[in-house]
Amino acid sequence: MRKAKVATTWLDGCSGCHMSLLDLDAALIPVARKIEMVYGPLVDAQEFPDDVDVAFIEGAVSTHEDVEMVNRIRQSSKVLVSLGDCAVTGNVAAMRNTVPVKKLLQTVYVDLADRGCIPGAQLPQLSPLARPVQDFVKVDISVPGCPPPSKVIGEVLEKLLEGRKPEAANKLKFG
Protein backbone atom coordinates (compact mmCIF):
# COMPACT_ATOMS: atom_id res chain seq x y z
CA MET A 1 0.00 0.00 0.00
CA ARG A 2 1.34 3.41 -1.00
CA LYS A 3 1.95 5.84 1.82
CA ALA A 4 0.22 9.22 1.59
CA LYS A 5 2.58 12.11 0.96
CA VAL A 6 2.02 14.72 3.68
CA ALA A 7 3.57 18.17 3.91
CA THR A 8 3.37 20.99 6.44
CA THR A 9 4.53 24.56 6.32
CA TRP A 10 4.67 27.39 8.79
CA LEU A 11 4.16 30.96 7.57
CA ASP A 12 3.46 33.96 9.85
CA GLY A 13 2.53 32.19 13.07
CA CYS A 14 4.01 30.90 16.29
CA SER A 15 4.46 27.18 15.44
CA GLY A 16 1.82 26.30 18.02
CA CYS A 17 -0.13 24.28 15.46
CA HIS A 18 2.96 22.21 14.65
CA MET A 19 3.49 21.70 18.38
CA SER A 20 -0.12 20.56 18.68
CA LEU A 21 0.48 18.08 15.85
CA LEU A 22 3.52 16.72 17.68
CA ASP A 23 1.42 16.52 20.87
CA LEU A 24 -0.34 13.55 19.30
CA ASP A 25 2.56 11.70 20.95
CA ALA A 26 2.01 7.91 20.76
CA ALA A 27 -0.91 8.39 18.35
CA LEU A 28 1.68 9.49 15.77
CA ILE A 29 3.04 5.95 15.54
CA PRO A 30 0.14 4.41 13.58
CA VAL A 31 -0.14 7.59 11.48
CA ALA A 32 3.58 7.42 10.66
CA ARG A 33 3.04 3.95 9.17
CA LYS A 34 0.55 5.42 6.68
CA ILE A 35 2.34 8.60 5.61
CA GLU A 36 5.57 9.84 4.14
CA MET A 37 6.42 13.28 5.50
CA VAL A 38 7.80 15.00 2.40
CA TYR A 39 8.10 18.63 3.52
CA GLY A 40 7.94 20.68 6.71
CA PRO A 41 9.98 22.26 9.49
CA LEU A 42 10.96 18.82 10.76
CA VAL A 43 12.02 17.53 7.32
CA ASP A 44 15.20 18.42 5.45
CA ALA A 45 13.49 19.01 2.07
CA GLN A 46 14.42 22.39 0.62
CA GLU A 47 11.82 22.58 -2.18
CA PHE A 48 8.12 21.88 -1.91
CA PRO A 49 7.56 18.60 -3.79
CA ASP A 50 5.04 17.72 -6.49
CA ASP A 51 2.17 15.28 -5.97
CA VAL A 52 1.50 15.91 -2.27
CA ASP A 53 -1.63 14.19 -0.99
CA VAL A 54 -2.28 16.42 2.06
CA ALA A 55 -0.68 19.77 2.86
CA PHE A 56 -1.17 21.64 6.13
CA ILE A 57 -0.47 25.39 6.20
CA GLU A 58 0.00 27.08 9.56
CA GLY A 59 0.16 30.87 9.82
CA ALA A 60 -1.07 33.93 7.97
CA VAL A 61 0.17 35.06 4.57
CA SER A 62 2.29 38.14 5.35
CA THR A 63 4.96 38.45 2.64
CA HIS A 64 5.27 38.12 -1.12
CA GLU A 65 7.26 34.94 -0.49
CA ASP A 66 4.30 33.56 1.49
CA VAL A 67 2.00 34.26 -1.48
CA GLU A 68 4.35 32.36 -3.79
CA MET A 69 4.55 29.51 -1.28
CA VAL A 70 0.77 29.07 -0.86
CA ASN A 71 0.35 29.11 -4.64
CA ARG A 72 3.05 26.46 -5.04
CA ILE A 73 1.49 24.34 -2.29
CA ARG A 74 -1.99 24.62 -3.84
CA GLN A 75 -0.68 23.62 -7.28
CA SER A 76 1.16 20.60 -5.87
CA SER A 77 -1.38 19.31 -3.32
CA LYS A 78 -4.56 17.29 -3.65
CA VAL A 79 -5.93 18.47 -0.30
CA LEU A 80 -4.99 21.78 1.34
CA VAL A 81 -5.72 22.29 5.04
CA SER A 82 -5.57 25.68 6.77
CA LEU A 83 -4.34 24.76 10.24
CA GLY A 84 -5.12 27.13 13.11
CA ASP A 85 -6.66 30.55 13.48
CA CYS A 86 -3.78 32.45 11.81
CA ALA A 87 -4.15 30.41 8.60
CA VAL A 88 -7.96 30.48 8.79
CA THR A 89 -8.58 34.14 9.75
CA GLY A 90 -5.23 35.96 10.04
CA ASN A 91 -5.66 36.02 13.84
CA VAL A 92 -2.65 37.32 15.81
CA ALA A 93 -0.53 38.07 12.74
CA ALA A 94 -3.33 40.28 11.40
CA MET A 95 -3.31 42.42 14.53
CA ARG A 96 -0.65 44.49 12.78
CA ASN A 97 -3.02 45.32 9.91
CA THR A 98 -4.10 48.64 11.46
CA VAL A 99 -0.52 49.95 11.41
CA PRO A 100 1.22 50.86 8.12
CA VAL A 101 4.24 48.61 7.50
CA LYS A 102 6.75 51.49 7.53
CA LYS A 103 5.51 52.73 10.92
CA LEU A 104 5.41 49.18 12.28
CA LEU A 105 9.04 48.52 11.30
CA GLN A 106 10.14 51.90 12.68
CA THR A 107 8.46 51.21 16.02
CA VAL A 108 9.66 47.63 16.41
CA TYR A 109 13.20 47.85 15.04
CA VAL A 110 14.18 51.44 15.92
CA ASP A 111 11.98 53.09 18.54
CA LEU A 112 11.83 50.06 20.86
CA ALA A 113 15.43 48.94 20.29
CA ASP A 114 18.57 50.26 21.96
CA ARG A 115 20.49 50.70 18.71
CA GLY A 116 18.23 49.34 16.06
CA CYS A 117 17.85 49.69 12.37
CA ILE A 118 15.09 48.61 10.03
CA PRO A 119 16.04 45.31 8.38
CA GLY A 120 16.57 45.42 4.67
CA ALA A 121 17.07 42.74 2.07
CA GLN A 122 18.06 40.12 4.66
CA LEU A 123 14.38 39.63 5.61
CA PRO A 124 11.29 39.10 3.45
CA GLN A 125 9.42 42.34 2.91
CA LEU A 126 6.08 42.52 4.72
CA SER A 127 2.91 42.87 2.68
CA PRO A 128 0.60 45.70 3.75
CA LEU A 129 -1.74 43.16 5.41
CA ALA A 130 -1.42 39.74 7.03
CA ARG A 131 -4.23 37.67 5.54
CA PRO A 132 -5.66 34.16 5.76
CA VAL A 133 -4.64 31.47 3.28
CA GLN A 134 -8.14 31.36 1.74
CA ASP A 135 -7.67 34.91 0.45
CA PHE A 136 -5.08 33.55 -1.99
CA VAL A 137 -5.92 29.94 -2.84
CA LYS A 138 -8.74 27.42 -2.52
CA VAL A 139 -8.65 25.77 0.90
CA ASP A 140 -10.29 22.35 1.17
CA ILE A 141 -10.50 22.12 4.97
CA SER A 142 -10.16 24.75 7.68
CA VAL A 143 -9.20 23.67 11.19
CA PRO A 144 -9.68 26.60 13.58
CA GLY A 145 -8.16 26.89 17.03
CA CYS A 146 -5.20 28.62 18.60
CA PRO A 147 -3.83 26.06 18.37
CA PRO A 148 -6.29 23.36 17.38
CA PRO A 149 -6.29 20.50 19.90
CA SER A 150 -3.97 17.68 18.88
CA LYS A 151 -6.85 15.20 19.06
CA VAL A 152 -8.75 17.16 16.39
CA ILE A 153 -5.67 17.40 14.14
CA GLY A 154 -5.24 13.65 14.50
CA GLU A 155 -8.91 13.02 13.60
CA VAL A 156 -8.64 15.29 10.55
CA LEU A 157 -5.50 13.52 9.34
CA GLU A 158 -6.95 10.06 10.00
CA LYS A 159 -10.15 10.82 8.05
CA LEU A 160 -8.14 12.25 5.16
CA LEU A 161 -5.99 9.11 5.09
CA GLU A 162 -9.21 7.07 4.95
CA GLY A 163 -10.37 9.13 1.96
CA ARG A 164 -13.11 10.92 3.90
CA LYS A 165 -13.62 14.66 4.33
CA PRO A 166 -13.50 15.71 7.98
CA GLU A 167 -15.81 18.37 9.36
CA ALA A 168 -13.27 20.02 11.67
CA ALA A 169 -15.00 23.39 11.78
CA ASN A 170 -18.09 21.82 13.34
CA LYS A 171 -16.07 20.57 16.33
CA LEU A 172 -14.01 23.64 17.12
CA LYS A 173 -14.34 27.25 18.00
CA PHE A 174 -11.91 30.03 17.31
CA GLY A 175 -9.45 31.15 19.97
For residue 175, give the amino acid letter: G
The per-residue pLDDT for 159 is 93
Distance CA 67, CA 171 (A): 29
Average pLDDT for 34-56:
93
Q: How far is CA 6 from CA 37, 118, 128, in A?
A: 5, 37, 31
Distance CA 131, CA 91 (A): 9
Distance CA 50, CA 74 (A): 10
The per-residue pLDDT for 42 is 81
- Report which of residues 134 and 170 the model is more confident about: 134
The per-residue pLDDT for 124 is 84
Calculate the average pLDDT of the chain: 90
The per-residue pLDDT for 172 is 56
Cβ contacts of residue 106 below 8 Å, gap of 6+? 118
The per-residue pLDDT for 1 is 67
* DSSP structural state of residue 147: S
The per-residue pLDDT for 165 is 86
pTM of the model: 0.90
Distance CA 16, CA 23 (A): 10
Distance CA 113, CA 135 (A): 34
The per-residue pLDDT for 117 is 79
Average pLDDT for 21-39:
91
Give per-residue pLDDT as tens, 94-105: 999 999 999 998
Tell me: pLDDT of 33 over 70. yes
Cβ contacts of residue 85 below 8 Å, gap of 6+? 91, 92, 144, 145, 146, 174, 175
β-bridge partners, 6 = 37, 54
* DSSP structural state of residue 67: H
The per-residue pLDDT for 45 is 83
Assign 11 a pLDDT band (cuts: 50, 70, 90): very high
- The full set of domains in the chain, from first to last, is 4-96+129-171 (3.40.50.700)
Tell me: pLDDT of 137 over 70. yes
Which of 33-37, 55-59, 105-109 is most confident?
A: 55-59
For residue 111, give the amino acid letter: D
